[in-house]
A and B are shown apart, each in its own frame.
Chain A
C-alpha cells in the first residue's frame, strides 16, 4: 500500500526534514522582525518610512545582519567557535536522548532536569571528595553521575509501574526535590567549599576533569554524547530491550497481550533515560570551562538543560540522529548567542526565542504548510493513502 516504506530503516523522512528546515528559516525570520521592532533606533527610522524608506530598511538590515552574523560567527566561525558549539551541544544531546528514549516508550519524561541535577551532584562529589589516580577517578565520577541520574529516573519508573502514578506529575515533583536537594547539600560541610559562606563546592580534581583538545572546547563530553547516541540507536533498533520499549510505546495493549511486561519495560526505560540525563549533568560537573577547570557545583550549574532537552527531543523526532542534529543546532544557538550579545548588543534571550519558535513551528506542521504551501503535496504523499478503518 505504501511502496515508500519498503525499506523503512534506510528511507529518510524527507517531509520531516523539509518541515524542520522550513521551521528554522521561519523562526529566524520572526526573530529578525522581533529585533527590528524592539530596537528603538531602528524603530525611530520607521517613523519617517514613507519619506525615506531607505533609512529604515538599511538600519533594519544592519541590525539583523550584525546580530545574525555574530550569531553564526560565534557558532561556527572558526575552530574555537565550533568547539564551543560542541561543548554546549553535548549535555543537550545527552539529556535530549533521555527524553527521546522515554518518548519512544510512550513516557513523557519532564524529569531530565532533576535527573541531570542528580548526575551533577554525584559526579561532582566523587570529583572533589575522592582523590584517585588519573583515568580511574574520571571513570568513577562519570559512572557515579550516570547511576545518580538512573536512580532518579528509576524511581519514577518504579512508581509508575507499581502504583500507576503519572510520570509527568512525578517527574515534575522529582525536579523540585532534586533542585532542593542540591541547594541543601551546598550548605552542608560535605559539599561547601571550606572557608566559603555562599553555596559553592570545591573545585573538581584535575584527574576527574574531562580531557579536552588543546586550543578549544572540544572535550570528552561531546565524544560521550555521540557514543550515547549510537548506544541508544543500537538499543532501540537492534536489541530485544529496545523492541519491547518500542512495542510498549506504540501499543501497550498489544505488548501486554504478547506477554511483554509493561511495568518492567517502563522501569528499564526510565533507568536508561535517567542515566542519559544524568550524563548531561556529569558533563556540567566535569566538563572543562573556558579556563580549563570545571565549573564548581552551585545551585544553577545545569542551567535549564533538562527543559531544553524536551525541545531537542521534539525537534529530533525522538530519533538518535535527529537528537544529535537538534542538539548541535541548539548548542550552536547557545554558543552563538553569547557572541551575539557581546558583539551585536542583542540580548541572549533572543536565542531562547528562536529555539522556542523552531519547536513551535515543528510542532505545528499544518501551520508551516499553510505559510509555505509548496511543502504540502510532499507531506500528503508521505502519509498513508487510506485512513485506517476508512471503509466499512
Chain B
C-alpha cells in the first residue's frame, strides 16, 4: 500500500500498526493505512469491522494501544479532537453535531468564538461560508437555521465546518445513510470537487455500489484487520466476499407469498404527530394481508418511526382509523395492541427494544411479565421465567454467557435475537419490524430474514420498515415508499432502483416511472447488472 499518486507536497497521512483493544476484544489489529491528498479512499467493511474505531483513533477520540500516526512524515499523537483538527483532520460524523436553532454561520464559529473583546465576528463567519460554498460548490445559505434545512444540506454544513478549520484530510463516516439516492449523487459531486482541490477524503461505507462509483482506492477491513485492497473495477460480488470473508448468498430464500384475500391490517387516513408536535404521518392509507411482507421504504426521518409507533399505540393517532382483523386498534395503549396480536421490533433495540441492565431472562418476558405463566398474583414465578429463557436462548441461538447475563453485555446481533425471540414466541396477527437488521453481521442478518419469512408463511401480516433499499427489495412482496409522512406509492419488489429513488424523493409513482424510462439503455444495463450482483441485505 504505497501512495499511488502524490499531487500535494509530502507523503500524506500514514497509520502504522494501529491496534486498539476493548478488554479482550481487538477492535483494530495492527492496521496500516495510507491516505494521500487528492484521493478518495474508501474504507469498506461490515458493521463492527472496526472502521469507526479506526477513524476515532485518527480523530483523537480514542487512543491507540499500539501504532503511530504520522502526517507528512512527522509523527503525531492526537489526545483529543482539537489536536487532530489542528493537524488538519476533519470528521463528519454519522450523527450531525449541529445546534438546530443556530444559523449555518453561527454553527460554523461554534467552539471557536474568537472575536475581539467577546464580540462574535458574525460577518467574517458569513463570508467564510460564502467563500467556501463557492469554492467547493457546496450551496448553503449562511443565514438559514439548521432546523429548516434538509438532511443533505445539514451534511454540507458539517463538511463546511471541517473545511473552515482548514481540514486537509476529511473523514466522512457513513455519510450516505441518511440521504436519498439523488442526494447521494450530489454528495459525490462535492466529494469529487474536494478531491480535485487536493483534499484527501476517507469515505467510510458498507454500500458497495457507492464504493465502485467513487473510490480511487479501496481498503477492506474485516474483524479489525486490513484484509486487502480492491480496485474500483472489481465486481460487487468480489467486494462483498472480501468484506464478509466468504461467498455471500445474494438473495433471500423466498417462496411465493400466499396472501389472505381479506387484509388483516387496514389503515385509513391515519395522521400522527411526532413528539415535537409536527405532523409526521399524514392521511396514510395502507392495507396488509396475512402472509405477505410489505416493506416501508424511504429515507430516514420521513415519518417511518411515528408510523410504526402509531401502530403500537405509543404515538397517538390524531386522525383516521387502524383496524386489525376488523377490530379497531386506534386509541389503544401499547399493552392493548400487544394483547391484540401485535409483535413489535423497534428501530432502536438498545433504546426501545430491551432494558440493557436487565438480564436476558428478564428481557424475554418484558411485555408479558405479569401474565400467565410468569406471574402468580403479583409474584413473579422465577423458575418459569428461567425455564422460558433457557428454551428461547436455545431456539433462537442467542449467544450469551448465561440467561442471567445482562443484555448490554451481548453483541448487537444477539440483542436483536432477544427482541425477536420475545416478539415471535407468541401467536401474532401483525408483526411490525423497524430496521430489523441494522448493525448486524451477515450471519445474523440471514437468521433474522429467515425468521421474518417464517412468520410471513405462518399467515401473519408483516410490515418491515427499512431504509436499506437492498433489504427492502430482498424481503418485500410489496414496497410502499414513504415520503414526508405519506405513502407516495406502492410498487412490486422488481421495481428499478432508480424509480424507487425518485419515489423516495417524493415523485409520484407514474411520474417516477415515466422519467425513469427516459433514461438511457446504458443505465438500465447498469441497473440490471446491479440487481444481479446485489448483496441483498446488509445493514
Contact = CB atoms under 8 A, between A and B. Distances in A.
A240 B379 CA distance: 6
A252 to B, nearest CB: 10
Nearest to A388: B408
Given A238-B379, A392-B48, A385 B22 contact: yes
B401 A6 contact: yes
Interface in B182-233: 224
Contact of B334 (A2, A244, A257): A257
Interface stretch (A151-159, A185-193, A210-218, A258-266): A258-266
Contacts, number: 127
Interface string A220-241: 0000000000000000001111
A248 to B, nearest CB: 9
Interface in B23-63: 23-25, 27, 47-48, 50-53
A241 B379 CA distance: 8
Contact of B378 (A239, A255, A260): A239
Contact of B357 (A250, A259, A260): A250
Interface string A235-279: 000111101101100110111111111000000000000000000
A250 B23 contact: no
A373 interface: no
Contacts of A3: 401
B305 to A, nearest CB: 12
Contacts of B312: 257
A5 B352 contact: no
B24 A385 contact: yes
A2 B366 contact: no
Given A250-B356, A390-B22, A390-B53, A8 B404 contact: yes
Contacts of B50: 391
A223 to B, nearest CB: 24
B409 A2 contact: yes
Contact of B369 (A6, A8, A243, A386): A243
A311 B401 CA distance: 36
Contacts of A253: 351-352
Contacts of A238: 379-380, 382
B165 interface: no
A385 B409 CA distance: 9
Contacts of B405: 1-2, 5-6
Interface string B310-343: 0010100000000000000000011111110000
B218 to A, nearest CB: 19
Given A385-B25, A390-B27, A391-B25, A254 B409 contact: no
B358 A384 contact: no
B121 interface: no
B51 A258 contact: no
A244 B380 CA distance: 11
Interface residues of B, number: 52
Contacts of A261: 333, 335
A145 B346 CA distance: 44
B335 A259 contact: yes
Interface in A1-51: 1-3, 5-9
A258 B22 contact: no
Contacts of A387: 22
B207 to A, nearest CB: 15
Contacts of A385: 22-25
Q: Give the residue among A3, A251, A384 with the most B Cβ atoms within 10 A.
A: A251
Given A257-B334, A258-B367, A251 B355 contact: yes
A269 to B, nearest CB: 14
B406 interface: yes
A4 to B, nearest CB: 10
A322 to B, nearest CB: 17
A261 B47 CA distance: 34
A1 B335 contact: no
- The CB with the most chain B CB atoms within 10 A, among A240, A241, A258, is that of A258
Contacts of B339: 259
A253 B312 CA distance: 13
24 contacts: A1-B410, A2-B405, A5-B406, A6-B402, A6-B404, A238-B379, A240-B370, A240-B378, A250-B356, A250-B357, A251-B355, A254-B352, A255-B355, A256-B314, A257-B334, A257-B346, A257-B353, A258-B334, A258-B367, A259-B335, A261-B335, A384-B23, A385-B22, A391-B50
Interface of B: 22-25, 27, 47-48, 50-53, 224, 312, 314, 333-339, 344, 346, 350-359, 362, 366-367, 369-370, 375, 378-380, 382, 401-402, 404-406, 408-410, 439
Interface of A: 1-3, 5-9, 238-241, 243-244, 246-247, 250-251, 253-261, 384-388, 390-392
